Structures are given as C-alpha cells and as structure tokens.
C-alpha cells in the first residue's frame, strides 16, 4: 500500500501545483485562434495555431489550467513546426458542460482536434499532467501518433502492483526531497529580497509571497519569478479529470513496442516527476525501451524552458526535427 500512497501523493501534488505560471518572456506573437465544437456538443475548445511545417499538438498540464504558460516552448521553432495549442475541456477558454469532463472525453477531444486540422498523423508534445492524456491517447490511437515528446514527464507506471522494491526505495524520501527543494536557501533569499520575511503583509504582498513559493517549487532559478504570472486552476475541471483517471497503470510496454520516437525532457530537480535525475525514466530506457531517449537538463526543474531555454530548445529541436 505504501508504494501506491507515495506515488499517488506525488501525482496529487502535480495536479494541484504543476504548470501554474504563465511566463511573460518569450511568448510568441501572431498565430490563429479559433473555437472547435466538441463531438458530444457539450461545448467548444479554444485552439491556437502558430508556425508552419509538421504538426505538433501541445497538451498542457494542470489539469484545469490553460495553455498560455506553454507558448514559449515554440519560441525559435515556429519556422519549422506548426504548433497547435488548445485549452482542454473545462480549462479557461474551453467552456463545456461540467458533467461532460472526463479523461475519456479529453481523449475524444484530442482525436476530434486531429481530424479538424487534417493531420493523418501528428507529433504530440505534453507537459506535466498532460503526460497522462498523452498515454491514454496513444493507447487509443497508436497509429495517429508519429512522434511523442513528454516534458516534465510523469512516471510511466504507477500504483502498488507495478512498483517493485527498487522503485519503492526511490520514492521513499521523495516528499521530503521535494519539500527541501521548495524551501531551499535561494527561495528564502528571494522572499527576504522582496521584503516578505515578516508576518505583517498586505494582500498584494501575500500574493507575491505565494507566487515566489510556487515558482520556487517548480523552477530552479527562483529569481526568475518576476517573469511569471499567476493563473488559477478550474477546480471542477481538475477534480473531474482526476476522478476519471486511472492511477493504476503501466505504460512500459506501450512505449517500448511502438515504432516511433519517444523523448522525455525533464529538469534535474523536477520532483513532480519523481526522484532527482528521473531514475524511473532512465531505467525504462536502459531495460525495456531502448528507443526511448531521456534528456535530463541540469540546473532545471518543472518549468524547464524557463530555467534553461537554450538547452531546452536544442533538446526539443532534436526530438521534433529530424
């Protein structure tokens, strides 16, 4: 039971905090925004396209946030690739009937979007909790995916029956490691620099304190918090997605047996994906999925493109452009 609790706690942490900043730096201007009716007529999805070339559909995290924070991943690559961003149902601009939100419907929406943009096969780029949607879509439509890039990738397996002793040992100190990272001296120094190391704070100061702490938990270079804008998760969309997601899973065979490129790009200190240095993904590549490429970027965390924009862009370019 311990194995399941450890892994589920980390996933709940991801769902409640991941992808919770919008960057003000490197956002691409231009592009086309439009609304796509859902197949079940429950509402519509907001879609934003930018660039030209091979299609790359981007899956945001959260769940229940919007795609805006991910726009910088296309920066510098829009001349070679056609990025398609969209708010998943229930997220910000994609309003739907609340009772229609589920993981199964997210998969249906992604297939509807693929058909709408006329892509026989597409590359899929996911971040954080978007990993689980990428897994589920791949399971349902393996012939529609030509390339898979998982950024801030959640573990490829989860649940008690899928964790052996070695995996359990890796997760044993994870909560404490994540706490220490979020409360490291660099975070406390930024709070002090902003005059937030006292008890008497205005509402604005409370908001800034919350933002710095959140950035500190997800970003190695916490001093870049000034580049971040806070956003809010739609709690109903988040809850309905979580409650319809299977957290007892093992996608190892799925990732190993399909003849298309799979790349994982994680930050060294990204504790939302598991222990430091992504050992779960490294082990999969070394044992079961030799075609899987794992890139761990040093001095970076969950918002890896903010921590190491140059290294991230090179890794993404290598993954998506032959």
pLDDT per residue as tens, the chain (322 positions): 333 333 433 443 333 334 344 544 555 677 889 999 999 999 999 999 999 999 999 999 999 999 999 999 999 999 999 999 999 999 999 999 999 999 999 999 999 999 999 999 999 999 999 999 999 999 999 999 999 999 999 999 998 888 888 888 888 999 999 999 999 999 999 999 998 877 778 899 999 999 999 999 999 999 999 988 777 899 999 999 999 999 999 999 999 987 888 999 999 999 999 999 999 999 999 999 988 999 999 999 999 999 999 999 999 999 999 7
Whether 152 maps to a domain, the answer reads yes
∠ CA 175-177-183 to the nearest 5 degrees? 100
Q: Which residues 6+ apart lie within 8 Å of 216 measured at CB?
A: 182, 183, 184, 186, 187, 190, 222, 225
- Number of structural domains (the chain) is 1
Burial (CB < 10 A; 0-12, 13-18, 19+), residue 1, is exposed
Whether 255 maps to a domain, the answer reads yes
Whether 186 maps to a domain, the answer reads no
Whether 194 maps to a domain, the answer reads no
d(CA 212, CA 190): 8
Whether 201 maps to a domain, the answer reads no
**What per-residue confidence (pLDDT) applies to 26?**
53
Q: What is the CATH number of the domain that holds 250?
A: 3.40.50.1820
**Is the pTM above the cut of 0.85?**
yes
Whether 16 maps to a domain, the answer reads yes
User: Would the CA dihedral through 300, 304, 307, 313 be positive or negative?
Assistant: positive
Whether 65 maps to a domain, the answer reads yes
Whether 206 maps to a domain, the answer reads no
The answer to whether the beta carbons of residues 156 and 251 sit under 8 Å apart is yes
**Domain residue limits at 168:** 2-174+232-320
């Amino acid at each position: 039971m311990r194995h399941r609790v450890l892994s589920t706690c980390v996933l709940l942490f991801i769902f409640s905090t991941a992808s919770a900043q919008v960057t003000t730096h490197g956002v691409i201007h231009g592009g086309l925004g439009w609304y796509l009716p859902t197949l079940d007529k429950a509402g519509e999805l907001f879609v934003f396209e930018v660039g030209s070339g091979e299609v790359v559909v981007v899956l945001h995290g959260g769940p229940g946030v919007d795609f805006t924070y991910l726009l910088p991943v296309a920066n510098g690559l829009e001349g070679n690739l056609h990025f398609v961003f969209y708010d998943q149902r229930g997220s910000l601009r994609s309003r739907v009937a609340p009772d229609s939100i589920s993981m199964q419907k997210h998969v249906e929406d992604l297939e509807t979007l693929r058909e709408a943009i006329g892509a026989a096969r597409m590359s899929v780029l996911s971040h954080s909790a978007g990993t689980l949607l990428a897994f589920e879509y791949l399971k349902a439509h393996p012939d529609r995916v030509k390339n898979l890039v998982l950024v801030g990738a959640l573990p490829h397996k989860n649940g008690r029956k899928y964790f052996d002793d070695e995996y359990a040992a890796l997760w044993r100190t994870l909560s404490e490691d994540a706490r220490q990272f979020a409360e490291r001296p660099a975070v406390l120094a930024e709070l002090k620099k902003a005059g937030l190391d006292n008890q008497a704070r205005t509402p604005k100061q409370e908001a800034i304190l919350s933002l710095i702490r959140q950035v500190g938990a997800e970003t190695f270079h916490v001093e870049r918090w000034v580049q971040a804008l806070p956003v809010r998760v739609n709690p109903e969309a988040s809850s309905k997605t979580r409650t319809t997601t299977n957290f007892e899973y093992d996608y190892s065979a799925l990732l190993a047996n399909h003849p298309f490129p799979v790349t994982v790009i994680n930050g060294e200190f990204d504790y939302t994906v598991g222990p430091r240095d992504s050992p779960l993904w490294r082990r999969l590549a070394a044992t079961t999925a030799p075609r899987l490429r794992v890139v761990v970027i040093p001095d970076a965390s969950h918002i890896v493109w903010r921590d190491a924009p140059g290294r991230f862009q090179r890794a993404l370019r290598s993954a998506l452009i032959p």
